[in-house]
Amino acid sequence: MGLQEVWFILIAVLFTGYFVLEGFDFGVGMLMPVLGRRKDPRGDNRRRAVLNTIGPVWDGNEVWLITAGGALFAAFPEWYATLFSGFYLPLLIILVALILRICAIEWRGKVDDDTWRRRADWGIIFGSWVPAVLWGVAFANIVRGVDINADKEVTSSFFDLLNPYALLGGLTTALVFALHGAVFLALKTKGDVRTDSVRLARWLAIPAVPVAGGFVLWTQLAYGTGWTWAMVGIGAVALVGVVIFTQLDREGWAFLLTTFAIVATIVLLFGSLFPDVMPSTLDPAWSLTIENASSSPYTLKIMTWAAAFMTPVVLIYQGWTYWVFRKRISADQIPPSIGLPAKSR
């Protein structure tokens, strides 16, 4: 195995980590209006309890995306350039949504005012739903292929990206992330928030299983290889297991299985893509591959040594963070708001 194959796998691992960890962050934000009912007298406490489940870790989870983007730029600059120019609008929308979500999470408690908090909540909801959908659309189009000419430029328009396969991919990531988030909340909360999260996870599993199953099967039949059938099987078994374990109130096992389902799906997508990194629908000879899109061997060698040194440190630190904040949260434990009065803004 050469360094190009190694870095293709490492980038797949980074995106897998991002979608597993940020997936439940998105799910938590997507479910805030359901689990934090505004007509409930304790609605704000419920919303703060929901948000506090990801409070210590959400920003660390986003580091996986930054690292994946940096690795993509350094290891496969042609892939990075073609992807970010051809997918400029959807990636810009994702970036704006993530920035809005960051600001909403950080500033929500700064002012003790219901209107302020309501606007922040909508920022969190928008900043969670939009990336959850568009990431699925983007990766589905990467696997399907886009119009790439001989100059390695994408000539597809934004609306060309909204094809049936990609839209199914966006619906799949949205539903699976919402299910992942509901199971995570059931695992991290107690009291009525946990009860509602378990009930919501049971309902979300009903549409998530057939939609995700249809997308995975379409991917395998149209773009997969022989060995990726194993990922289809793992994903299918995992999603069925989620349905069973949510019914049994075993949220720990259910969360592990939603994680397996996400991992299997990402492995299927990258496995279907290899050895291409961006297939061309105009002419296969114009496709970007790990060979014609990579950096020099010397660059890849230096990156490999740096990754070998830094990766264990990052993993140990992030694992320690999750261990420290492992206990469940209840709405009854939420203290009064200490934000500035509205008139002080």
What string of DSSP letters covers 230-241? Answer: HHHHHHHHHHHH
Q: How far apart are CA 114 and CA 337, in angstroms?
A: 11
pLDDT of the residue at 112: 80
Burial class (CB in 10 A: 0-12, 13-18, 19+), 345: exposed
- Any domain includes 65: yes
CA atoms within 13 A on the CB side of 331: 19
Domain that holds residue 235: 3-314
Confidence of residue 344 (pLDDT cuts 50, 70, 90): very low
Q: Higher pLDDT residue, 176 or 339?
A: 176
Q: How far apart are CA 169 and CA 166, in angstroms?
A: 5
Q: Mean pLDDT over residues 176-199, rounded?
A: 92
Q: Which two tokens stand for residue 209?
A: 């299983």
- Any domain includes 129: yes
Average pLDDT in the chain: 90
Which residue do the tokens 């995992």 mark?
238
- For residue 27, the one-letter residue type is G
Q: Mean pLDDT over residues 135-142, rounded?
A: 95
- How many structural domains is the chain composed of? 1
β-bridge pairing 288-289 and 276-278:
antiparallel
pLDDT of the residue at 321: 86
Residue 77 has a CB neighbour count (10 Å cut-off) of 14
pLDDT of the residue at 27: 95
pLDDT of the residue at 129: 96
The lowest-confidence range among 3-17, 124-138, 310-324 is 310-324
Query: Reduced to 3 states, what is the DSSP secondary structure of residue 340?
Result: strand
The lowest-confidence range among 187-191, 222-226, 246-250, 332-336 is 332-336
Q: How far apart are CA 176 and CA 222, in angstroms?
A: 21
Dihedral sign from CA coordinates of 320, 321, 325, 326: negative
Q: Mean pLDDT over residues 253-282, rounded?
A: 94
Long-range own/partner contacts, residues 342-345 (CB < 8 A, 24 or more apart)? 342/111, 342/112, 342/113, 342/115, 342/116, 344/111, 345/111, 345/113, 345/116
Find the helix packing angle between 77-86 and 88-107, rounded to 10°.
Answer: 80
- Any domain includes 236: yes
Q: Mean pLDDT over residues 24-28, rounded?
A: 95
Q: What is the CATH number of the domain that holds 113?
A: 1.20.1630.10
- For residue 62, the one-letter residue type is E
* pLDDT per residue as tens digits for the range 57-91: 888 899 899 999 999 999 999 999 999 989 999 99
